[in-house]
């Protein structure tokens, strides 16, 4: 799984877990709602500054937005060992 897809999935999951709409998240982070939608659909790359602002609003470390699922880590490790 590419890092943009990881970010998109984590962003949506964390936003929904917080009970925030895309519009609410965008407003609190100071960015446009359509940009949030594009990030969640893996259309755009987020800058490190945007990742940090979103993480702050979501109450997590920026690294949480980029954290790969554990099953994806296993696959990546196996590929590297070959």
pTM: 0.84
pLDDT tens digits, one per residue of 1-39: 899 999 999 999 999 999 999 999 999 999 999 999 999
State the DSSP string of 42-66: T-SPPPHHHHHHHHHHHTS-HHHHH
The CATH number for 14's domain is 1.10.260.40
Which tokens in the block code for residue 43? 């259309």
The predicted structure's pLDDT at residue 1: 87
Q: Averaged over 37-61, what is the pLDDT?
A: 97
Mean of the per-residue pLDDT values of the chain: 90
Distances (CA, A) of 52 to 20, 40, 66, 74, 79: 17, 16, 11, 27, 30
Provide the percentage of residues in the chain whose pLDDT is more than 70. 87
């Amino acid at each position: 799984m590419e890092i943009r897809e990881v970010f998109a999935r984590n962003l949506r999951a964390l936003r929904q877990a917080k009970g925030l709409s895309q519009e609410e998240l965008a407003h609190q982070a100071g960015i446009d709602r359509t940009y949030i939608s594009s990030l969640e659909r893996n259309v755009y790359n987020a800058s490190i500054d945007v990742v940090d602002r979103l993480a702050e609003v979501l109450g997590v470390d920026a690294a949480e937005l980029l954290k790969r699922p554990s099953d994806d880590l296993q696959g990546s490790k196996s590929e590297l060992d070959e």
